[in-house]
Structure 1
Amino acid sequence: MDRLINIFQQIRTRIAFYPTIISLTGLLLAFLMIYLEQKNISAYLVEVTPALVIDDTDTAKTILSTLIGGLISLTVFSFSMVMVLLNQASSNFSPRVLPGIISDQKHQIVLGLYIATILYNIFILISIEPTENSYQTPGFSVLLGIILVVLCLAAFIYFIHHISQAIQVGNILTAIHSRTKSEIASIIKKQEVNTFEFPNHEYWETYEITETGYFYGILDDDLLELCKENVIKITIQLYKGQFILDDTIGFKTEKPLDNELKQKIISTLLFSNEELIGENYIYGFRQISEIGVKAMSPGINDPGTALNTIDYLTSLFLDLMRKADFEYLSDEEGENWAFIRTSKFSEILFNVMATYRLYCKHDITVMRKLMHMLKTLINHVINSNQLEVIEAEIHELKADANNNIENKRDLSKLDADFISWS
């Protein structure tokens, strides 16, 4: 089941997923209406509500042809807008945000409605055939086609509004922050009922991975079932997002495995040729920091966006400090069967700070904001290791500021409380 869910999630993120399903629905609706027209549904409606039924064949053909041509133009225009949106997001923010925009269900549903209506009208137009020197006019089907086009026009207005909102950096940051915060919260919730008990695995049997690609997750249920069936505990030595090469040590087990069981365990590890967002909260930190750094580039020169990204990162780091450095795969009784390595708080904080320090060390406002973030984190430390890591980053931040900011008055403000002036 986990494997099927994983395949579905990958397909669902494709831009053609919902358009394909909705288009097939429009096609089925067309066949249904053709069948009902053969049962003389239009003739019945002419008797009941003649004003709603188009009974002139030439008029019906003209209307359908016009609607098809207009909708094709509208579809091309809408797809062009999506491409422009993706190009602008990639140039101004980060290529990493593209999967989130592409997988937006609202864009896909609107595009799917266009294509479904085009297919419906085409097949209804084709169904107008001569019968005994006259044409059977599918009046009710034509009326339904007009209604669908009106819905497409309403969807287009909504599409314009939504796409104008989607390109705004504030909405992009909010979406990334919400998704990442939710992923961290789900991990913290699981660890609240975890015992953190696991055997020492320093000298366990090691097994290499023959796959090449990005490691992005585990089929939890399948791996847990294998561990319980074979009464064996395992440690996963890979990090989510790590690029795996041949002969990389992938996992350890407390006892030797035969080749069949080894291959079954490897099959529960998920690899891809491209980086997938999935449930990897690390990508949230990276996407937000990349947007902030890109905003400080000379071509964009938007320090206000960089300051906003630091606010979102501060919120995420406060949550991350509550997460343990390791994750466990447990059964219903709470026994841990698998030990999973994850990126530590110190590693993520260093990567984020190193990126900002390199590209923002000349801007006193951004440096002060980073100092404010670190001081905020100090007030919420959970253990001495976190305190030590944060103090080290403060020391490095001050060193970079002293080496790159020449104005002494600006340097004197580095430790002052940051007050937003926006």
Structure 2
Amino acid sequence: MKSLYNKFISFINTIQGKIAFYPTLFSIIGFSFAMTMLYLEKEGISAFVLEHIPQLVINNADTAKTLLSFLTGGIISIMVFSFSMVMVLLNQASSNFSPRVLPGLISNRNHQFVLGIYLATILYNTFTLVGINPQENDKYQLPGFSVLIGIILTVVCLGAFLYFIHSISQSIQVNNILDTIYKKAKMRLEYLLEKESETPPNFPDSSDWKSYYSSETGYFQNIAVANLVSICKEEDIQLKILPIQGLFVLEGVPIIQVSKDINDELVKKILSNFNFAKGEFVEDNYALAFKQITEIGMKAMSPGINDPGTAISTIDYLTELFAMRLKKNDQTIITSDEASLIAVSTTNFKELVYQVMVSYRTYCKHDLSCIQKLFIMFKYLLIQEAHLPEYHDVLLAEAKLLYEDTQQSITNSTDLRRIEALYQKLLK
């Protein structure tokens, strides 16, 4: 039962990133509200409102039908324009920054809410229009109050449209994209740091444990921790999760190691708590933020764009994220009642820094402004408190590689002296 509940929650978390999720949800609400209002009209709600506030109720059927038709056509027009703006936004973001930022832009809830309001209002007005009987002579039977609600919802749509234009123009700005990625990664890191104990227990050597293989293909997003902990307690086993979160896992590759042999039924039960997806989200994997921010910086330094200012901004955000990552242990162990039950493979700090720096060393080693910013980043990180002392050694090693690359790519003696001075400050 828990496994089914977890899969349902994982399904909901996955589809929330789809651009059609909230519009579909709002459409259902709009349809349900229209049906509710048609029922209330039969109960005489328009007659009640007409008796107390007659100024708010439309009594003429032709006027009501014309008005609702006009309003619905207008909403369809602004909805088409809004969808067109979304497509332009995604195309521009993909061209100027990185295709990897698209899932984050598509899953923007505010934009989905606006599109959902459009669809809900269209459905409401349409079914209200169907409920109008032009041959009806009794003015109390005309759904005048429902028409009033349709007018109010249309006004809300106009306000939402103005907000949408403002929001879409802000979303395409690179600083806002970087800030959004940074905030998502920061929240994820803060969550992991909060869950991580200060003195994590040791996990036994799993080199001789039996491996079990993946039955699915996709990006390994997350696991149902509570369910796996319960399974480990019930079966008296320990697990080691082999793939790093966010890694693309192929069917048939080793995915877990177990402290003792288990049957196929238990293997399926364990693997049912693994969530796979075809996309990647920073909310599930903070390491993806480093990749996305780095790719935006590299795109900015491409010959076609040549924007060192954006590359420097990406270094600023990476500096903050690396400072937080310094506080985290390389090994993630899930415990219960002080017993180590599950070891989760994570991207270690050395590999994370190397993958980021290899891109900057390749594409920015000829630009002095970026080189200076990178050395300033190293200087800042070296004075931060690290969870493990080896982290500082990793930073010094990467700074040395950067220094060596710049010595080969920059020939101006003045620039070389400046780089030398920056590098020597790191060694003091």
Class of the TM-score when normalised by the shorter of the 2 chains: over 0.9
Partner of 1:170 in structure 2? 175
* 1:198/1:27 CA distance change after superposition, 3 Å: same
Paired residue for 2:351, among 325, 338, 347?
347
Contact 1:381 1:387 in 2 (8 A): no
Aligned partner of residue 257 in structure 2, secondary structure:
strand
Task: Give the distance between the partners of 2:377 and 2:39, measured in 1 at CA.
Answer: 66
Gapped regions of structure 2 (runs ≥ 5)? 424-428
Contact 1:201 1:252 in 2 (8 A): yes
Contact 1:216 1:278 in 2 (8 A): no
* 1:318/1:194 CA distance change after superposition, 3 Å: same
Residue 349 (structure 1) shift: 0.2
Residue 249 (structure 1) shift: 2.1
1:371 correspondence with 2:379: no
Paired residue for 2:110, among 95, 106, 109?
106
Residue 188 (structure 1) shift: 1.4
Paired residue for 1:73, among 70, 77, 93?
77
Task: Give the distance between the partners of 1:330 and 1:389, measured in 2 at CA.
Answer: 29
Task: Report 1:243-254 matches (<5 A).
Answer: 243-254=248-259
Residue 246 (structure 1) shift: 4.0
What is the one-letter code of the residue matched to 1:116?
A
1:93 correspondence with 2:72: no
Partner of 2:21 in structure 1? 17
* 1:401/1:417 CA distance change after superposition, 3 Å: closer
TM-score (norm 1): 0.94
Contact 1:184 1:320 in 2 (8 A): yes
Residue 266 (structure 1) shift: 2.3
| Residues 256-307 of structure 1, C-alpha deviations (whole Å, 9 max, x = no match) | 1122222222222222334344411110111111111111112222111110
Kindly report structure 1 stretches of 4+ aligned residues shifted beyond 4 Å. 130-136, 415-418
Partner of 1:207 in structure 2? 212
Residue 416 (structure 1) shift: 4.7
Task: Report 1:145-164 matches (<5 A).
Answer: 145-164=150-169
Paired residue for 2:414, among 409, 413, 416?
409
TM-score (norm 2): 0.93
| Residues 203-242 of structure 1, C-alpha deviations (whole Å, 9 max, x = no match) | 2222233433322222212211111100011111111122
Task: Report 1:23-422 matches (<5 A).
Answer: 23-131=27-135, 136-192=141-197, 195-331=200-336, 333-380=337-384, 382=386, 383-416=388-421
Residue 133 (structure 1) shift: 6.6
Task: Give the distance between the partners of 1:109 and 1:153, measured in 2 at CA.
Answer: 13
Contact 1:329 1:336 in 2 (8 A): yes
Give the stretch that moved more between structures: 347-356 or 24-33.
24-33
Task: Give the distance between the partners of 1:89 and 1:415, measured in 2 at CA.
Answer: 37
* 1:211/1:51 CA distance change after superposition, 3 Å: closer
Task: Give the distance between the partners of 2:47 and 2:272, measured in 1 at CA.
Answer: 60
Residue 393 (structure 1) shift: 0.8
Task: Give the distance between the partners of 1:104 and 1:159, measured in 2 at CA.
Answer: 11
Give the stretch that moved more between structures: 302-311 or 186-195.
186-195
Gapped regions of structure 1 (runs ≥ 5)? none
What is the one-letter code of the residue matched to 1:253?
V
Partner of 2:426 in structure 1? none
Task: Give the distance between the partners of 2:213 and 2:58, measured in 1 at CA.
Answer: 70
What is the one-letter code of the residue matched to 1:263?
K
Residue 184 (structure 1) shift: 1.2
Task: Give the distance between the partners of 1:170 and 1:415, measured in 2 at CA.
Answer: 31
Residue 123 (structure 1) shift: 1.0
Aligned partner of residue 302 in structure 2, secondary structure:
coil
| Residues 64-103 of structure 1, C-alpha deviations (whole Å, 9 max, x = no match) | 1110111110110111111111111111111111111111
Aligned partner of residue 414 in structure 1, secondary structure:
helix
Give the stretch that moved more between structures: 46-55 or 380-389.
380-389
| Residues 161-214 of structure 1, C-alpha deviations (whole Å, 9 max, x = no match) | 111111111111111111111111211122225532222222222223343332
Contact 1:2 1:220 in 2 (8 A): no
| Residues 3-34 of structure 1, C-alpha deviations (whole Å, 9 max, x = no match) | 22211111111111111111111112211222
Question: RMSD of the alignment, in Å?
Answer: 1.9
| Residues 128-177 of structure 1, C-alpha deviations (whole Å, 9 max, x = no match) | 11456778532221111111111111111111111111111111111111
Contact 2:72 2:125 in 1 (8 A): yes
What is the one-letter code of the residue matched to 2:381?
L
Contact 1:196 1:328 in 2 (8 A): yes
Aligned partner of residue 419 in structure 2, secondary structure:
coil
* 1:390/1:230 CA distance change after superposition, 3 Å: same
What is the one-letter code of the residue matched to 1:234?
L
Aligned partner of residue 216 in structure 1, secondary structure:
strand
